[in-house]
Amino acid sequence: MHRKKPLSPNALRRAMARADDKLALARERLAALEPGGTPERPIEVASASLVEPRAQSAPCLRCGGPLRIDEHTAESIGGLRLRVVHARCAQCASPRLLYYRVGSALPS
């Protein structure tokens, strides 16, 4: 079972990069299951002014760093009016999309 073959520094680096990619992919898949990760599961906010503060408080999926908002658009996806935040990590520059729905969480 134990096959001990010392890895060269380059092979080790490649193996670690692959592991990082796998982890990042797993985190991204997980994020798609969280509210806001897909258009089907938007985060509900009471007003449009809350979209950007909420997006800024979300961490980068890859490194946990702070997100910087590139663009905030209003789009119609699957019949829903959604706010889409195009954000990018301030540390590792990995992109993240967050979906919000405005006005559906108003107090009754």
DSSP per-residue letters across 40-104: TSPEEESSGGGHHHHHHTSBPTTT-PBEEEEEEEEEEETTEEEEEEEEEETTT--EEEEEEEEST
Residue type, 1: M
Nearer to Zn ion, 59 or 103 (CB): 59
Q: CB of residue 50 vs Zn ion: minimum separation in angstroms?
A: 23
Element of type H or E holding 13: helix 9-33
Q: In this structure, what token pair is assigned to residue 101?
A: 């729905």
Q: In this structure, is the dihedral angle defined by the CA atoms of residues 15, 18, 20 and 26, taken in order, positive or negative?
A: negative
Q: CB of residue 22 vs Zn ion: minimum separation in angstroms?
A: 16
Nearer to Zn ion, 38 or 94 (CB): 94
Does 92 sit near Zn ion (CB under 5 A)?
yes
Nearer to Zn ion, 50 or 58 (CB): 58
Which residues between 72 and 91 bind Zn ion (CB under 5 A)?
A: 89, 91
Does 96 sit near Zn ion (CB under 5 A)?
no
Listed ranges 29-37, 51-59, 78-86, 92-100: which one lies at the site for Zn ion (CB under 5 A): 92-100
Does 65 sit near Zn ion (CB under 5 A)?
yes
